[in-house]
Chain A
Amino acid sequence: DQQVKQNSPSLSVQEGRISILNCDYTNSMFDYFLWYKKYPAEGPTFLISISSIKDKNEDGRFTVFLNKSAKHLSLHIVPSQPGDSAVYFCAASGSYNTDKLIFGTGTRLQVFP
């Protein structure tokens, strides 16, 4: 049972435009959400996170939005740059020490000039 879903396996965006990556989850006990970025042959790198008490968190060009009622979060990248081309993983967790970080299957973002 896949508790975190990224339904778009890939996304192609022109440089300078907005990239919107989506993520849906099913477990209402999740209260911490993260986005990771992964380049080929490297490990995932933390990008931005949000806790369930917020609906938005911003860090430079990256903004994460959380809609708890819809069990949906999204990552906005504005403006998109070619260096943003990577696979983006959404992840979610509860807040207990035995809770696991559950990852989505990733969305490959390609930013073209």
Chain B
Amino acid sequence: DTAVSQTPKYLVTQMGNDKSIKCEQNLGHDTMYWYKQDSKKFLKIMFSYNNKELIINETVPNRFSPKSPDKAHLNLHINSLELGDSAVYFCASSPQVAGMGTQYFGPGTRLTVL
């Protein structure tokens, strides 16, 4: 009965590869997010989607492309992986858009680019 789940939990890959991280929420929330936590522990938003529509798109390289097939899923595809992409990526969801809604986080995906 996991509320927000992510797969995989760990991802180790070579520079230049393309990889995807999947996220699913079973809370019935309309809004989903991707966050990146870097080595300095900053937790920073990358994207948010509300009902499959892109709401927030931070200054993220266009190698990162979120895809929301339905409002319960928000996947993150990363092309041409670079060393600096190594981080923990968290998916989250909320019942309303970011301003006033409590966000519920997944367990994170630790991406290591070699």
Interface residue ranges of A25-68 to B (CB < 8 Å): 32, 34, 36, 41-46, 49, 51
Q: Which of B43, B50, B104 contacts A97 (CB 8 A)?
A: B50
Cross-chain contact B97 with A97 (CB below 8 angstroms): yes
In the complex, which residues of chain B have a beta carbon less than 8 angstroms from the beta carbon of A93? 98-100
Most buried by A among B50, B92, B99: B99
- Inter-chain CA distance A34–B56, complex, in Å, is 20
- Inter-chain CA distance A101–B105, complex, in Å, is 13
Closest to B33 in A: A101
> Chain A: interface secondary structure?
loop
CB distance from A94 to the nearest CB of B (A): 6
A43 in contact with B108 given A89-B43, A95-B99, A103-B42 (CB within 8 Å):
yes
Cross-chain contact B98 with A99 (CB below 8 angstroms): yes
A44 in contact with B43 given A97-B55, A98-B55 (CB within 8 Å):
yes
- Inter-chain CA distance A97–B55, complex, in Å, is 8
Interface residue ranges of B2-25 to A (CB < 8 Å): 4
Cross-chain contact A44 with B90 (CB below 8 angstroms): yes
Cross-chain contact A41 with B108 (CB below 8 angstroms): yes
Total number of B residues with any Cβ neighbor in A under 8 Å = 25
Cross-chain contact A32 with B100 (CB below 8 angstroms): yes
- Inter-chain CA distance A41–B106, complex, in Å, is 10
CB distance from B20 to the nearest CB of A (A): 19
A85 lies within 8 A of chain B by Cβ: no
- Inter-chain CA distance A45–B106, complex, in Å, is 9
In the complex, which residues of chain B have a beta carbon less than 8 angstroms from the beta carbon of A45? 105
Provide a sorted-by-A list of 8 A–B residue pairs whose CB atoms are within 8 angstroms. Answer: A43-B90, A43-B105, A43-B107, A44-B105, A45-B105, A96-B99, A100-B56, A105-B41
Minimum-distance CB pairs A-B, first 7: A43-B105, A97-B97, A103-B43, A95-B99, A99-B99, A44-B105, A100-B45
